[in-house]
Structure 1
Amino acid sequence: MSFIYLASQSPRRSQLLDQLGVSHQLLLAQADEEDAEALEALRPGEAPAAYVQRVTGLKLDAAVARHRRRALPAAPILCADTTVALGRQILGKPADAEDARRMLRLLSGTTHRVLTAVALQHGRKRHALLSESRVRFARWSEAQLKAYVASGEPLGKAGAYAVQGRAAAMIEHISGSYSGIMGLPMFETAQLLRGAGFKL
């Protein structure tokens, strides 16, 4: 196989695939199709791991249907989703700056989990894996919080921060997959791609 489809708008996921040396084409929803954000609705009492795996499956279902509708050449389709969890509380993408400040106050001085599910559709077969990492933040001052949110970086990011961005200055400790925290766990992704016949 020479390439895969990436069903994600995240430039970080695309960069990580480039790092693995995997040629890929984007397979994104058009304006009249169901947007990925609409698939991210929470179910009451849903555990973070179950949530992120379910959402990834729904996104992959939508991407497979999109591929079929567009009659595109056959190739594996890759999808991923990331969520931040403080205990059983799921912190998705902030609605606005105030919501970002609220999330960062919750995470300040604590250790939280970052869960990234990745799934690959290869013909009729589907394989999926889950990466779980832990991140400990130092305690943020209100001035630091305001400055970080004003930078615009927290918007569109699960948990209202980007590990590869300015928030790195506040991270005391990480255990697990750095690339998983970014949005695409490279070890798990490589496992799925090798299973589909890619030489990495």
Structure 2
Amino acid sequence: MPTRRLILASSSPRRHQLLREAGYEFESLAPHESVECGICSTGGPASLVVELAMNKAANVLAQLKESGDFDDRCVIIACDTVAECGGMVLGKPADEAHARDMLERLRGSLHRVYSGLCVWQPGSAAAGLPDVRLAVSELRMDPLSDQQLDEYLASGLWEGKAGAFGYQDRAGWLHLSKGSESNVVGLPMELLTEMLAELPAD
């Protein structure tokens, strides 16, 4: 079959980096902000990220078709990630005060990171439906002092990150006990590799 066009439905530098480091050639097209509506599902974190990943992929497909840039080689990759601690879903913080609330909840606690991953080749007769799967990682954050928390907030590294933290920023604070490290960063690469390998060759 013709070479696939991988299109990442994200402007996230971390997702771009993970794909590049894995050797993938890809284009990127961010979904409209209205698609990333935050916590808009009552089905828990798993349902939320699966729903948002599908919505992002559908939005990017619509953009490609509207611009006339869609062809049968397009494979859309969309992912949404949230953290969950004590039953509360933690998306991206709205501001520093929101980030502080999240980090105070997370410090010293066991929590999980959920990613919904959608791989969709809508122009393929054999794989026209989106494939959406879930990745879950479990971590524990050290019991941070108020000073450590203040310093991290002042750094601005919390911005745009689910749960107001980045595993790649202060790895010494976070200890992965189950699941994928790349999932915690924002794109479960092991699962993505598996899903891409399962796409049929038309």
TM normalised by structure 2 equals 0.89
Count of aligned positions:
192
Q: Distance in 1 between matches of 2:8 and 2:160?
A: 18
Q: Distance in 2 between matches of 1:106 and 1:28?
A: 30
Distance 1:158 1:10, change over 3 A: same
Q: Counterpart in 2 of 1:51?
A: 48
Over aligned residue pairs, what C-alpha RMSD do you find? 1.7
1:40 match: secondary structure: coil
**Deviation of the 1:88 alpha carbon:** 2.3
Q: Distance in 2 between matches of 1:38 and 1:171?
A: 26
Q: Which amino acid aligns with 2:90?
A: L
Deviations 1:26-75 (A, max 9, x none): 1124xxxx3156433423x4311011111111111111111111111421
Q: Gapped runs of 5+ residues in structure 2? A: 123-127
Distance 1:192 1:112, change over 3 A: same
Q: Distance in 2 between matches of 1:197 and 1:8?
A: 24
Q: Distance in 2 between matches of 1:38 and 1:78?
A: 15
Q: What is the aligned counterpart of 1:192 among 185, 195, 201? A: 195
Confirm or deny: 8 A CA contact 2:35 2:59 kept in the other structure. no
Q: Distance in 1 between matches of 2:167 and 2:24?
A: 23
TM normalised by structure 1 equals 0.90
**Deviation of the 1:5 alpha carbon:** 0.6
Distance 1:153 1:37, change over 3 A: farther
Distance 1:37 1:99, change over 3 A: farther
Q: What is the aligned counterpart of 1:162 among 160, 166, 187? A: 166
Confirm or deny: 8 A CA contact 1:39 1:59 kept in the other structure. no
Q: Gapped runs of 5+ residues in structure 1? A: none
Distance 1:187 1:36, change over 3 A: farther
Q: Counterpart in 2 of 1:28?
A: 30
Q: What is the aligned counterpart of 1:129 among 112, 130, 133? A: 133
Q: Counterpart in 1 of 2:11?
A: 9
